[in-house]
Structure 1
Amino acid sequence: MHVIQPMTEDQAAIRDAVAKTLEPFDDAYWAKTDETGEWPEAFCDAMAKGGWLGIAFPEEYGGAGLGLTEAALMMQTVTRSGAGYSGASAIHLNIFGPKPLEKFGNPELKRENLPKIISGQEKMCFAVTEPNSGLDTSSLETKAERTNKGYVINGRKIWTTGAQRADKILIIARTTPKDQCAKPYMGLSLFYTDLDRGKIDAKPIPKMGRKAVECNALFIDGLEVPKEHLIGEEGDGFKYLLQGLNPERVLFAVESVGLGFAALERATRYANERVVFGRPIGQNQGIAHPLAKSWAELSAAELLAYKAAALYDAGQECGAEANAAKYLGTEAGFTACETAVLTHGG
């Protein structure tokens, strides 16, 4: 059993400082980015200047040296501010995406890139998912073949966020055929290298929402990668990849919870202000009860997410909790937003 501790003064200060950074970015700002598809550059710059992009990275690289709990507080504050996933998705990858590089990259690769990622100077994308393999990473088909100087990568990736503006790419590819490996997840290697637009064609995928942060299909043809850009040992890429997956699941959970709470706050305000038949609609159980139910669901998901974060920060296994938190958090967040929309119809 793991007991969740109350928020510390330092953690509350982080939450309040992030909220202060977000004050200039109001509803009009986010509506404009979604309408125009314009990347939220000013928001990203503000978060970088505040030092928030390196919240979970070591101080020696310019980070704050804090844990997943503090990073989760930050990202929940972002979505709850009204930025939603337009804000969260713009910086989400910076928070734990480079962890494999930090943990397993060679010293020169880390010194050269981590400070730039943390400062916002260097922009990266993360290429894992493929059209034919989906979430089954062991079945990916992109190949990295050895050469005298390193590797050449060929293949396809999909749903790669931020590739239109990225300088670098964190990419996983198969270096040993699957039928030659003892286990299917072996033989995969992870690289952090330049995004050469002469070798990588990034095509945006049309979406219904969150236009400010694009997703892409990548077509990779002869991308040359120096051997120094291999992260860790060849064939161990899947193991390194896991370093960032559980924290990422926790962040998705709290981001969804933050968005859900933001929706509930607006719906509750409307329910208290909207008067029909001589009284606020919030006094009707048909309005109040769904809002209360959503609050309970969000609060439960929030607790599980911070339990997972606490386990991670303590160096304990958190896979089950992180996965469950992502499921419950996204479900609760969606339901809260749906309930808020229905409330505004009253």
Structure 2
Amino acid sequence: MTVKRYIRKGIPLEHRARVWMGVSGAQARMERNPGYYHRLLQGERNDSLEEAIRTDMNRTFPDNVKFRKSADPCLQKTLYNVLLAYGHHNRGVGYCQGMNFIAGYLILITKNEEESFWLLDALVGRILPDYYSPEMLGLKTDQEVLGELVRTKLPAVAALMDGHGVLWTLVVSRWFICLFVDILPVETVLRIWDCLFNEGSKIIFRVALTLIKQHQAFILEATSFADICEKFKEITKGSFVTECHTFMQVSVWVCSACALLCCSTCLAGEVTVLALPSCPPGKAPVPAFPLGLCLSWGPSPCTVSSPFQAHPLLEPKACRQMRGGHLPGVQWLLPLLLCHQPWSGLPQGGQGPVPMGRPIGVVQVHRDGSIKGTSTHLV
């Protein structure tokens, strides 16, 4: 039986912190950076960061006696330290509402400040990048991906949402931001997090789709904008989500097709074709590169760009050997495959070759995966 199957069956509470630290890479990072956490706490003051964190202290698990000021010891101080250290560590994120609930859960499980910090770093910095940045691009992208998955698997629900003008962010943003904390029962959340630390963000989609699929008939009873929003609140309650083992089994099997979903289902539109250098003799073809990576082949560097965001759900198995878990999406690979040829010989309005990295055309990508034409325009 694989580690994945063991973890999906639920990690015993007494081993949960150690397993999370191991499978997420947090343990290795902590060991490579001895004393780093405590140095962060002793760093330069940041009044705006400290005030933002203090504002949310009393809002974090107000019904949990361990987080009350009267508790001894009071976990509010531990929570404050973890969030402050992370704000200093990741200045691009600082502190964002929702992180307090995540850090609070980590503290309750690990009972260790430093381990909670490194697990928070694993989640915010690597597993869920850009969920908590000021622009929240990762969060917005994943909500859009969920909408496309629902459109593919549960078209009646998607039609209902569209018909009443309900945006997905209105009904599922807390699911993503809080990782189901204070939304689903505690033990169910912990089982979800077991998989999250080991398998990555795809578990969030599986859980979200399971909730929607299992309550599809109930959701379709909605007759108004407000009614839809209320239905989505109701589906996170009841015996189905309380029976965490059954719930997790259903989320794996009912939604297993999500992992196999062809990326072209969620790709519809235009991919900009870039002028990329041709493969030098004796070298392997250009593999899938992440957005923004500078390539050095050819007379001048060029930068890979695409209007599509990468997402782990949208990746073919053939691409899964790269970047140590941060997997490249087909949307990175596709433009490279389409224009990995000596485009540099193409004239640019009588000006000579197109410089490397400049857009030279647009490829129409259809939802069925076909490419039904290109329009080349010189720029």
Which range, TM-score by smaller chain? under 0.3
Larger strand percent: 1
TM-score (norm 2): 0.26
TM-score (norm 1): 0.27
**RCO higher in 1 or 2 (8 Å CA, sep ≥ 6)?**
1
